Structure 1
Amino acid sequence: MKKALKVLAVAAAIAVSGGVAASAEALKVGVAAEPYPPFTAPDASGKWEGWEVEFMNAMCAEAKLECVLTPVAWDGIIPALTSKKIDMIISSMSITDERLKTIDFSDKYYNTPTGIIGTKGVEMNSSPEGLKGKTLGVQVSTVHQAYAAKHFAPAGVEVKEYQTQDEANNDLAAGRLDAVQADAIALKAFLATDQGKECCEYKGDVAEDVAVIGPGVGVGLRKGETELKDKINAAIKAIRDNGTYDTFSKKYFDFDIYGG
């Protein structure tokens, strides 16, 4: 899902506007503390960058919201939202029926396929039959974990769970896994690294299952915050309509990440 980057310790929230101190009215935007390029990752100085950071900046500016990027461990990011430690989640979180039991979502802001990468030169494909007898790595608390449990485990695939996608990718590169499932774009970003080029190759997209993977990625929000949700939905539509979304997206992708 991502190239191998070490998680940098972030002791304080980083303002979306470039590191300025947050005011009392600023909204804390939760992002997974684990790097997830090309969507989010800290640079050498600790400043977060990537496509999703640019989306956040554009969306908050359009909605006239003061937003502060706040790294949170992925497996605790929904509890952080519901307990009001953060005010929204912008962290490649797929909209699913299971999550909608606990939180709300904005309209989608991107949608990309789910894929499988595996050891270079080893014959396998992205179907349950193609991975039978092999070991598949997934990140915990993700739609990929849920998908693997539903489709791959019953077909005789050993599913191994990891706290971060980096850990799964590293184990694949080291030969401790046969394959990894994650978002196709993030997997291809890993394959573009020196480590990924040497070890691994793309094996294909998995079969669609909207009930598990969802219709796309949305901004996570607390239940009942209708006014904020309306502002965010209007801002997403506006940056799509006025070209801002396409302008920053073209720096990262040569296709429409918004998806069908």
Structure 2
Amino acid sequence: MRLIQRLLVAAAAIAVLSGPASAQDSDADKTWTEVRIGTEGAYPPFNFINAAGEVEGFDVDIAKALCAQMKVTCTFVTSDWDGIIPALQNGRFDAIVASMSITPERSEQVLFTNKYYNTPGAIAVPKDSELTEATPQSLAGKTIGAQGGTTHAQAAEAYFPDADVRVYPTAEEYKLDIENGRVDAVTDDIVVLTDWLKSDAGACCKLLTQLPVKEEIYGPGLGIALRKGNDKLKAMFDEAIVAIRENGEYKKVQDKYFDFDVYGE
């Protein structure tokens, strides 16, 4: 009996250790009929949890449109931002649709589709702030809040080297800190900040300026992340992105959230 138990434990351990690799190895030849989509659920208006406890937003609706175009079933899984890439690699879901910028650092870990939108970063400050511009000199010694593990945090450190850049697990937390006077400014996607500033929670603050768009920081846009080697699913998504741009489905989703073309040039 003990020998059998030991064999079962050993087999379970091997299965755990080989799980992510097996998931990755099987991607290449898989026939996709269902795609599990990972998203954060805490980044409105791109992805958030509604009053009914369901995930929604631009990312979610675009994912649904892409899945419909690919003729596959979509299911959604929420994940904390700082663990979303490991969760993908470990097979918890098959694709990340969560406003993830395509960067060289991330491309070492995941396979990206072509972009599905591209909007710039921006800076917001309290309404009574004395700041009138966002320059290295004006923000020297100031505190800037940003969500950790994002290109916006990286941009703040690159553009404002003498500022104190404070990173937070979620966007909601830096918003609370600027509302309560604990930081001098915050940075994020201009759409995210504008959406927040229109809400009651954002009544504290105002948009200061859009930040320069440098591809070496922000990448060429925001893409869907897949496990390495999953070229078949990448091709499916890339073709579907082109198709929904051409057949009007992309514009239908976009117009639900924005009054401008978020795809970019």
Preserved CA contact (<8 Å) 1:127 1:207: no
| Aligned equivalents of 2:102, 2:36: Cα separation in 1 | 20
Gaps of 5+ in 2: 1-31
- Residues 199-208 or 236-245, more deviating: 199-208
User: Equivalents in 2 of 1:77, 1:195: separation in Å?
Assistant: 27
Please tell me whether the aligned partners of residues 33 and 72 of structure 2 are also in contact (alpha carbons under 8 angstroms).
no
What is the CA distance between 1:184 and its match in structure 2?
Answer: 0.4
> 1:30·1:91 contact (CA, 8 Å) conserved in 2?
yes
Indicate conservation of the 8 Å contact 1:106/1:220, yes or no.
yes
Shift of residue 25, structure 1, vs aligned partner: 5.6
Which residue does 1:69 correspond to in 2? Answer: 76
The 5-angstrom pairing of residues 195-234 of structure 1 reads: 195-197=201-203, 199-234=204-239
Deviates more, 1:167-176 or 1:141-150: 141-150
Q: Given that residues 144 and 186 in structure 2 are in contact (C-alpha distance below 8 angstroms), is that contact kept between their aligned partners in structure 1?
A: yes
Mapped pair 1:168 → 2:145: no
Provide the residue aligned with 2:10 in structure 1: none
Between the two proteins, the alignment pairs up a number of residues equal to 233
Instruction: Give CA deviations for 1:126-175 in whole Å, capped at 9, x if unaligned.
Output: 222221121000111111122222222x2x21111101000001100111
What is the aligned-residue identity percentage?
Answer: 42
Structure 1: 5+ residue runs without aligned partners?
1-23
Q: Which runs of 4+ in 1 moved over 3 A?
A: none
The answer to whether the aligner puts 1:251 opposite 2:256 as a matched pair is yes
Task: Check whether the contact 1:60–1:67 (CA below 8 A) recurs between aligned residues.
Answer: yes
Does the CA-based 8 Å contact 1:127-1:206 persist in structure 2?
no
Q: Does 1:47 align with 2:54?
A: yes
Please state how far the C-alpha of 1:211 moved relative to its aligned partner. 0.7
Greater helix proportion: 2
Structure with greater Cα Rg: 2
Residue pairs, 1:74-153, within 5 angstroms = 74-124=81-131, 125-152=133-160
**Tell me, what secondary structure is at the counterpart of 1:202?**
strand
Answer whether contact 1:134 1:158 (CA < 8 A) is retained.
Answer: yes
Counterpart among 188, 196, 210 of residue 182 in structure 1: 188
One-letter code aligned to 2:180: A
